Structure 1
């Protein structure tokens, strides 16, 4: 039986009835009193749109960022769980990485932070363990509003710490945090999964519900750096596999992104997706087969790129 590792994005929340992303953006503009000052346009990358919203608000209303992020945290905490959240827990994966801020995957708000260290802003070690499942909130969480990764500056800081952790080593004062870089520790066979980043180099990861837009600079850097280590530098062994799930109806229009995923050593799996609930149930069923080592050869045809 395999220990599953999952990376899950916000799309699973869209099965639940409630506020849309555009509704949330309008609520943010209203909260900041700048509804007539900022135009919501799909051509604006969201991390830069967030900077526009915050910088406009701070100049006009002297709003504090911690108040803005607390408001966003309260709105995302209103997301209601659905049967896919329950089905994911029923799979009993060993680790769940998520870009989501709320705790619908856990099923309830965790009482204890089980991270190696308590992070106020960034999320290299941010972990909650519930019912023997490790939940890694890689872009922050609602209990710590300032950790919510939204703006361009926050992405830059997160990426800086990620690169230090992987390439050059860390400077944390906690003696339990490894000082050596992940690359050096892997070379010495000393990987203990202190961070969610370790899993990207050591465990098979199944990615779904995540659009992987190019604004996710931290994740694209991690994919690229992993692939460079595997095929170019070859300083360490990178034996794990990454799988990205996508509705088959989006394959043609997403070819540009799938080509980039292929180049970065990511296997793409397509499943029928016209019905969102059925699509995610299909993924859950496939993951259950993988966990119990019962995946039939016929399932291999769903892999577009290997």
Structure 2
């Protein structure tokens, strides 16, 4: 089972307007024109925090207005070949993108939300469907600007919810039991068949994961925590592949790729003359990886199952002989 974690790399190739232009317009709208020279060198979350902090409005109101405007600027992205070549190989696509470009590439306007539980601010269960594909907007979507994870406060709250879901449980309105925890935690890998509520987090922990077009800035603490948790799991059922794109020459090692290797992530260099060609080449490499790993890594029987099996064998193969006390 293979799943995709997609960042905005392909979107930046597809943008009719440059990423810099979009952020510049956002900065101008909210009186942050002096922030423009440093836009490209700052994480997006830091830039958003600066815009909100400078506002004279209450923080929550400022944050909402920034998110609404950012959502408006992101709505017009047309898909390119790299979208279909990369995403077409997966039935489960997790994306940090807020727009619906992937859905529209495969289903046009016929894609639809298919949330597994009601959410407003966070996105554990924020699933959309496009034909047979599941697209999970792990950082929210433009249709609900309040769900878009952009600032530190939102990241911190989201990580807390993810951690609770993985290690314990979270409240789910309308669920018969009131609370739901990750099925993978207890070894249930067939959760799509036997659970009505599950999350993209479960796919992430279970599957072979291919990461494409994602810079993985260290502010994305939710994803880094999940990578660490996946690495720490006693029995890993899936490998992680990170496709590191570079123009014309082999990519240099970075603090991010160094940490990824430490977390047992396979860093796959992708070199081409343009970013568009890099992602098309990544699609070919993904196809090869999927063919070489058709199944999840097997997990051993749990201890209680082993003990039960051994005791059954012992009882069936060893019989106690009759014993009689001698007569006195």
For residues 226 and 177 of structure 1, the distance between their equivalents in structure 2, rounded to whole angstroms, comes to 27
Q: Secondary structure at the match of 2:129?
A: strand
Within 5 Å, give how 1:15-164 maps onto structure 2.
15-36=13-34, 40=38, 44-59=42-57, 64-91=62-89, 93-107=90-104, 108-109=108-109, 111-164=111-164
Q: TM-score, normalised by structure 2?
A: 0.77
> Contact (CA 8 Å) 2:126, 2:138: kept in 1 or not?
yes
TM-score, normalising length from structure 1?
0.82
Match of 2:302 in 1: none
Tell me the residue number matched to 1:213: 217
Matches within 5 A, 1:178-217: 179=179, 181-182=181-182, 185-189=184-188, 192=191, 194-217=198-221
Give the superposition deviation at 1:82.
1.1
1:291 to partner: Cα distance: 4.3
For the residue of structure 2 that corresponds to 1:6, the secondary structure is strand
More off after superposition, 60-69 vs 204-213: 60-69
Structure 2 residue runs of 5 or longer lacking an equivalent are 193-197, 295-328
Give, in whole Å, the separation in 2 of the partners of 1:179 and 1:60.
Answer: 33
**Alignment partner, residue 11 of structure 1:** 9
SS in 1 for 2:71: helix
Q: What is residue 302 of structure 1 aligned with on the other side? A: none
Worse-superposed segment, 35-44 or 106-115: 35-44
Maintained 8 Å contact 1:207/1:245: yes
Instruction: From the superposition, tell whether residues 135 and 61 of structure 1 become closer, same or farther in structure 2 (CA, over 3 Å).
Output: closer
Question: Which entry has the higher C-alpha Rg, 1 or 2?
Answer: 2
Q: Structure 1 residues 280, 176: closer, same or farther in 2, change over 3 A?
A: farther
| 1:97-153 Cα deviation digits (max 9, x unpaired) | 111111111124555311111321111111101110000110111111111111111
- CA offsets, 1:246-286, max 9 Å, x none? 12567653332222111112111112233222211112123
